[in-house]
DNA sequence: GTCTGCGGGCTTG
DNA sequence: CAAGCCCGCAGAC
């Protein structure tokens, strides 16, 4: 088991207990670590993890929470504190209860500037909800490199919804730039109803969504409490399912011509990189031509082992899980490689290698994972969207919540497809991409 | 321009 | 003294 913190006490031997009993401030940290943890994108509560020093995400001390560096006057231990989440002060909601959960800028100046901007949905003022999950203070994360391992410890429980991920925020900035660039092109290509800016939309946010954050269609109460995030077996399963979807989507496009194939992870990964016969949508598989949805989001339980060959390479690699997924943000960004946009998600080594066989972003709390796709519509050009700003998934982060996630109906888990892809048709999207959304060509 | 890590310095309990 | 916070700097992207 990767997550030592969730092992049952009775299953632990003395070494395992040592793995659990350490504190980030200890003089000596355990070095006889048998198994390192999979990187946790949304660490919450009082978690401790031991990552391999080879783990790129751990090396970068990444978190999808907006964490800023905090000086603890200890150069050996890096401390970071949570900035919370930026929300609309009007508490506006988009369709299906989607809320605005923006990622606070890490830089102080940038954050102040950010709060002067307007809500992308209702144009109302934005406000920052500070994190007070650690005794009234922000949740803190500690990182310490020691030997072959990177030790992580978090203190406190986030008492606010999750912001958009770093990658989403980065992508949004990228799209904002693209928007500005495209605005200078004399082609009047943004007049289609789907791409027109709505009155409430501020230009500063841009109108080109890049990723969708279908964390959940359920609005969190103001008393949202991260404590509800539990490490249930189902959630762990989901985490590991996410690994598969991420692995398949690395590089953006996915070729899962036959989801029931018995390709091993490496070959599967290679196929993923080669074509776009199938669009991996954070777990759901779409065929861009037929528009067929392999609706794993509807809990169709195609067992990942069937496709991955029963963990043939590494026990840590591809656990046995069904394939439920609820998110499917994607990236229509053919002009820019996924590696450029989302370097963190690109494995340095082939998946067959031990280090890269671990998931890049497992989901500890069973959270939805924001997946990006590089959809190559016949090598179409620049990225954009066919969504109205109101639908702009980029701007809306669902309040993520594992409990809600597991009570999702098929509707909520695939609404994006039903309403935006299947209803409109991917060919339509492709055409839109070509006709309306490639102003630079 | 923003993120990130580092470190000095201040305040508070 | 520890913890939290602010600030500026430098390097990277």
Q: What's the residue count for chain A?
A: 441
Categorize the per-residue pLDDT at A254 as very low, low, confident or very high, splitting at 50, 70 and 90: very low
CA-atom Rg of chain A in angstroms? 21
Average pLDDT over residues A243-272: 33
| List of residues 6+ apart from A348 with CB closer than 8 A | A56, A355, A356
Categorize the per-residue pLDDT at A177 as very low, low, confident or very high, splitting at 50, 70 and 90: low
Domain count, chain A: 1
Task: Report yes or no: A241 and A284 within 8 Å, Cβ to Cβ.
Answer: no
- Angle at which helices A265-274 and A233-249 cross, to 10°: 50
| List of residues 6+ apart from A327 with CB closer than 8 A | A212, A213, A214, A215, A282, A283, A368, A369, A370, A371
Whether residue A261 lies inside any domain: the answer is: no
Position with higher pLDDT, A299 vs A137: A137
Distance A134 CA to B11 C1' (A): 19
Whether residue A435 lies inside any domain: the answer is: no
Tell if A107 CB is < 7 Å from nucleic strand B.
yes
Q: Which two tokens stand for residue A248?
A: 């398949």
Report d(CA A135, CA A143) in Å as an integer: 20
3-state SS assignment for residue A340: helix
Position with higher pLDDT, A168 vs A322: A168
Q: Report chain B positions within 7 A of protein CB atoms.
A: 1-9
Q: How far apart are the first and last CA of chain A?
A: 50
Task: Please report the pLDDT score of residue A74 as a whole number.
Answer: 83
Specify the nucleotide whose C1' lies closest to residue A166 (CA).
Answer: B3
- Strand C-proximal residues, CB under 7 Å? A 69-73, 79, 81, 108, 134-135, 137-138, 140, 343
Whether residue A66 lies inside any domain: the answer is: yes
Whether residue A89 lies inside any domain: the answer is: yes
Q: Report chain C positions within 7 A of protein CB atoms.
A: 3-7, 13
Specify the nucleotide whose C1' lies closest to residue A138 (CA).
Answer: C4
3-state SS assignment for residue A302: coil
User: Per residue in A15-65, pLDDT tens?
Assistant: 666 667 777 777 778 888 888 888 888 888 888 888 888 888 888 888 888
- Dihedral over Cα of A157, A158, A161, A164: its sign: negative
Specify the nucleotide whose C1' lies closest to residue A68 (CA).
Answer: B4
Report d(CA A385, CA A365) in Å as an integer: 30
Single out the residue of A99, A97, A98 nearest to residue A127, CA to CA. A99
Tell if A69 CB is < 7 Å from nucleic strand B.
yes
Whether residue A328 lies inside any domain: the answer is: no
Task: Please report the pLDDT score of residue A182 as a whole number.
Answer: 64
- Residue A378 has phi, psi (to 5 degrees) of 50, 45
Distance A60 CA to B6 C1' (A): 15
Whether residue A384 lies inside any domain: the answer is: no
Report d(CA A382, CA A332) in Å as an integer: 8
Task: Report yes or no: A17 and A146 within 8 Å, Cβ to Cβ.
Answer: no
Distance A75 CA to B9 C1' (A): 16
Count the helix, strand and coil residues of chain A and give each as a percent rounded to the nearest 5: 30, 15, 55
Q: What is the mean pLDDT of chain A?
A: 53
Single out the residue of A161, A323, A170, A166 nearest to residue A248, CA to CA. A323
Specify the nucleotide whose C1' lies closest to residue A79 (CA).
Answer: B5
Residue range(s) defining the domain that contains residue A164: 43-179
User: Per residue in A262-296, pLDDT tens?
Assistant: 333 333 333 333 223 333 333 333 333 333 333 32
**Range A67-72 contact pairs with CB under 8 angstroms and sequence separation of 24 or more:** A67/A106, A67/A141, A68/A106, A70/A140
Single out the residue of A318, A361, A281 nearest to residue A63, CA to CA. A361
Say whether pLDDT at A247 is over 80. Answer: no
Distance A70 CA to C4 C1' (A): 8
pTM of the model: 0.51
Say whether pLDDT at A407 is over 70. Answer: no
Whether residue A276 lies inside any domain: the answer is: no
- Residue A153 has phi, psi (to 5 degrees) of -145, 135
Region of residue A41 (phi > 0: left; psi between -120 and 50: alpha; otherwise: beta): alpha
Say whether pLDDT at A385 is over 60. Answer: no
Laid out side by side, the sheet with A284-286 consists of: A279-281, A284-286, A293-294
Specify the nucleotide whose C1' lies closest to residue A169 (CA).
Answer: B2
Tell if A61 CB is < 7 Å from nucleic strand B.
yes
Distance A111 CA to B7 C1' (A): 22
Percent of chain A with pLDDT over 90: 0
Whether residue A136 lies inside any domain: the answer is: yes
Task: Please report the pLDDT score of residue A183 as a whole number.
Answer: 59
Say whether pLDDT at A361 is over 70. Answer: no
Distance A204 CA to C13 C1' (A): 22
**What CATH number is given to the structural domain containing A149?**
2.20.25.670
Element (H, E) at A19: helix A14-21
């Amino acid at each position: 088991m990767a997550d030592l913190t969730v092992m049952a006490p009775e299953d632990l031997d003395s070494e395992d207990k040592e793995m659990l009993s350490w504190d980030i401030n200890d003089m000596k940290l355990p070095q006889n670590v048998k198994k390192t943890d999979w990187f946790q994108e949304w660490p919450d509560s009082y978690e401790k993890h031991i990552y391999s020093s080879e783990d790129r995400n751990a090396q970068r001390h990444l978190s999808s929470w907006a964490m800023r560096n905090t000086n603890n006057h200890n150069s050996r231990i890096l401390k970071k504190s949570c900035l919370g989440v930026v929300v609309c002060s009007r508490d506006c909601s988009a369709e299906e209860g989607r809320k605005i959960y923006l990622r606070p800028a890490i830089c102080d100046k940038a954050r102040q500037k950010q709060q002067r901007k307007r809500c992308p949905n209702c144009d109302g003022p934005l406000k920052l909800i500070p994190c007070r999950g650690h005794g009234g203070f922000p949740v803190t994360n500690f990182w310490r490199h020691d030997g072959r391992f990177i030790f992580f410890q978090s203190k406190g429980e986030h008492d606010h919804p999750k912001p958009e991920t770093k990658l989403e925020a980065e992508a949004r900035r990228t799209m904002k730039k693209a928007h500005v660039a495209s605005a200078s092109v004399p082609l009047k290509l943004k007049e289609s109803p789907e791409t027109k800016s709505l009155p409430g939309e501020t230009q500063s946010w841009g109108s080109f969504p890049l990723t969708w954050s279908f964390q959940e269609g359920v609005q969190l109460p103001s008393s949202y409490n991260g404590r509800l995030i539990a490490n249930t077996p189902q959630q762990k399963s989901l985490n590991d399912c996410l690994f598969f979807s991420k692995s398949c989507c690395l590089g953006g496009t996915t070729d899962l011509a036959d989801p029931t194939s018995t390709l091993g992870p490496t070959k599967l990964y290679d196929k993923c990189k080669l074509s776009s016969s199938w669009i991996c949508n954070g777990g759901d598989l779409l065929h861009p031509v037929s528009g067929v949805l392999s609706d794993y989001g509807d809990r169709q339980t195609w067992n990942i082992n069937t496709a991955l060959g029963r963990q043939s390479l590494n026990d840590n690699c591809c656990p046995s899980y069904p394939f439920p997924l609820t998110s499917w943000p994607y990236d229509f960004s053919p002009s820019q490689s996924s590696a450029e946009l989302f370097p963190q998600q690109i494995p340095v080594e082939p998946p067959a290698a031990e280090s890269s066989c671990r998931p890049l972003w497992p989901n500890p709390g069973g959270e939805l994972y924001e997946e990006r796709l590089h959809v190559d519509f016949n090598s179409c050009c620049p990225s954009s969207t066919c969504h109205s700003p109101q639908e702009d998934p980029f701007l809306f982060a669902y309040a993520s919540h594992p409990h809600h996630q597991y009570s999702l109906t098929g509707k909520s888990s695939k609404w994006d497809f039903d309403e935006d892809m299947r209803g409109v048709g991917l060919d339509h999207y492709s055409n839109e991409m070509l006709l309306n959304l490639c102003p630079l060509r």
